[in-house]
Structure 1
Amino acid sequence: MFRNPEDWTAPSKDPNDEQFGDIVESTTIEDAGEYDAVLVGEPYDGAVIGRRGANEGPAAVKDALAGVKTHHFTAGPVASVGDVGDVVLVDDDVSVVQEEVTEAAAAVHDADTVPVFVGGDNSLSYANAAPLLEAGSLGVVSFDAHLDCREVRGEPTSGTPYRQLFDAGLDGLSVVGARHFETSTRYAEFVREQGGSVVTAEAVGADPEHALEDAFAALEGVDHLYVSVDIDVLDAAYPGASAPTPGGLQPRELFRLVREVARDPRVAGFEVVETAPPLDEDDRTVDTAARTIAHFLAGTHV
């Protein structure tokens, strides 16, 4: 189910420079519950609507994270992080891959830890979150330029995960960072019909302090939250994504919002998807994805 992870190492030679490479420990699914959070790689991009390359995301993001220092000025140092390796996929068919990843994700959710899925394309969001539907009511906070609630026509795609989750019983969806002119009216209406909310990137830029209030209002009463970051929520100046577009969030805004969401005790899982290293420039998107994970982990400790 999981490919054994490589041992983590930190690039700094300064003994005072504690980095994630020093504290992340390779582990197994049987021992995953010993850690506050565990990393799960998902190297797959067979369902991408746009540009390919996200299958290389897990390795590149983990490598970048190894060199990030562990200290957050408010939360202190991040600790207790394991890595169970990559999900082993035996088929390229999207529906089969979703089934395989759902089984793997369920095992991590059952391990009494917080899974941090490192994608991989957005079609896997369905598989990563679906096991939580059996544990009670579920809401999703999706940081994304797009709504990803297209109807499934044939095979699922990176644009269908939240339609699939609603069909399976999802109770709420809040999309943060969505762009004007990046979705169809019908899909915007679908989110509203489900009682969901959309907080645009423009709204985040105008008032980041209150940007999450509307998002959480649509998720009141749910038992669990799943948090997804599609890295294309960033502005197109960060091009290492399947579908970058202008007008997006800046990393500082994303980091702040992710930390705030992570503080909610209902959070039961987190992911960063659609990071495509071959499309990046100077590793700035990959580095931002790695630091987004660091800020989420810091937020769970605040």
Structure 2
Amino acid sequence: MYRILSLTAFAGTALARDITFPPVSGLQHPLGSMDVSTSMDVSTALYSGLVTYANLPYVHCLAAENTAIEPYDIAIVGAPFDTGVTARPGARFGPNGIRQGSRRIASQFSWSVYTGRNYFQEWAKVVDCGDAPLTFLDNTVALKQLTKTHEVISARKANASEYTVPRIITLGGDHTTTLPALRSTFKHWGAVSVIHFDSHIDTWDPDVLGGGLSHYAGVNHGTFLHIAHEEGLILNSSFHAGIRAPVANRKYDLQHDKACGFHIVKARDLDRMGMQGVIDTLKKRVAGTKVYITVDIDVLDPAFAPATGTAEVGGWTTRELLTILDGLSGLEVVGADVVEVAPIYDNPGETTTLAAAEVVHSLIALMVDTPVKGKAT
């Protein structure tokens, strides 16, 4: 009798575990659920497989010239480089960290509660091109490799018929990686106004922030804007935003910075001007020009972005930065980047990489909002 009861109980348990999956809602599927009774296709599941920014399709943008690839309008490309830093290394892992921080983002579920728009589903085709193949043993060679990467990706015909030049958003990498990007944008759009979100000015003379030791030592994440000015890549309508770090020379550094074409909105100016005041100042300064936006994640206070190479206290909040970025809508943004993300210094909540991923989202929105034609050749 005891044995019969046990078998009966076991049979009931077995039936209870034979779960019947309900039909999958079209709203659930993009989150990775599926009808496993009829399909084991996990190609659309999140948190699995290769990690791309915002679960976007991967395209081999660096394929051989005669290889047909999927066309695109906005390309995400990683720059795993951090040997131009003057403080903590680790940003070579930034591209992967930002992609990890973007895992919760998906094109099907990206309708903004602020604007009601989904920038992934408008006219522009956005893809992830993976990382540039960079050596970590020679800075000079690595920067040439990154320059070539930008040239190849931006030279492909865009998906949109009217706006034929793809635009690139770079995931850094230390801030030196902005220099190859500016060289690339110059070929398609000429000199640009740079809106530089950072806690440091990054226009230091290479003889100062390099010690005059060598040309090699003078090319780093604190001198790249000086070099860009020297090469004629940027306009005198450029702007720093969020500056708060000390300078090396009380008079010379700021005078030299102005000579490089920059004006400054300091971090604490936000308290006086408000976010709209900062937005209006930036937009008025760069009006009528093509714009490159570079975001050093250390523009944020370390409370919001601890995972960076040269953290400076007293910075902006993530919300403030995103509000200011979104307020720049209407500018002709021809290129952008998010740099200095060093995941090894992040906390278990991935505070920095989550913030960086959302900054990239805002940069995509700016590019989608205002298409830009390349200059006549």
TM-score norm. by structure 2 comes to: 0.70
Unaligned runs of 5+ in 1: 1-9
- The DSSP-based 3-state class of the residue aligned with 1:26 is coil
Is 1:58–1:119's contact at 8 Å kept on the other side of the alignment?
Answer: yes
1:58 correspondence with 2:95: yes
Once the two structures are overlaid, the 10-residue window that deviates more, 269-278 or 201-210, is 201-210
Q: How does 1:84-99 map to 2 (within 5 A)?
A: 84-90=129-135, 92-99=137-144
Q: How does 1:105-144 map to 2 (within 5 A)?
A: 105-111=150-156, 112-134=165-187, 135-144=189-198
Partner residue of 1:3? none
Q: CA deviation at 1:215?
A: 2.8
For 1:280 and 1:184, the matched residues in 2 are separated by 32
Partner residue of 2:264? 198
Q: CA deviation at 1:12?
A: 3.8
Q: How does 1:3-42 map to 2 (within 5 A)?
A: 12-13=31-32, 24-29=56-61, 34-42=71-79
Provide the alpha-carbon RMSD of the alignment.
2.6
Tell me the matched-pair count. Answer: 290
1:177 correspondence with 2:242: yes
Higher relative contact order (CA 8 A, sep 6+): 1
Once the two structures are overlaid, the 10-residue window that deviates more, 60-69 or 160-169, is 60-69
Partner residue of 1:4? none
Q: CA deviation at 1:216?
A: 3.5
Q: CA deviation at 1:23?
A: 5.3
Inter-CA distance 22–182: structure 2 relative to 1 (3 Å threshold): closer
1:70 correspondence with 2:110: yes
For 1:289 and 1:183, the matched residues in 2 are separated by 28
1:150 correspondence with 2:204: yes
For 2:240 and 2:284, the matched residues in 1 are separated by 12
Inter-CA distance 205–288: structure 2 relative to 1 (3 Å threshold): farther
Q: CA deviation at 1:133?
A: 2.2
For 1:144 and 1:150, the matched residues in 2 are separated by 14
Q: CA deviation at 1:288?
A: 0.3
Partner residue of 2:310? 243
Q: How does 1:278-289 map to 2 (within 5 A)?
A: 278-281=344-347, 282-289=349-356
Residue type of the partner of 1:157? N
Structure number, greater radius of gyration: 2
Is 1:120–1:274's contact at 8 Å kept on the other side of the alignment?
Answer: yes
**Cα deviation digits, residues 195-214 of structure 1 (max 9, x gap):** 42101111124311020333
Unaligned runs of 5+ in 2: 1-28, 35-43, 47-51, 157-164, 370-377
For 1:227 and 1:253, the matched residues in 2 are separated by 16
TM-score norm. by structure 1 comes to: 0.87
Partner residue of 1:295? 362
Inter-CA distance 212–18: structure 2 relative to 1 (3 Å threshold): farther
Q: CA deviation at 1:183?
A: 6.0
Inter-CA distance 182–191: structure 2 relative to 1 (3 Å threshold): closer
Q: CA deviation at 1:18?
A: 10
Q: CA deviation at 1:72?
A: 1.2
1:165 correspondence with 2:228: yes
Partner residue of 1:6? none
Q: Which has the higher strand share?
A: 1
Inter-CA distance 298–183: structure 2 relative to 1 (3 Å threshold): farther
Indicate the percent of aligned positions where both proteins have the same amino acid: 23
- The DSSP-based 3-state class of the residue aligned with 2:146 is helix
Once the two structures are overlaid, the 10-residue window that deviates more, 181-190 or 47-56, is 181-190
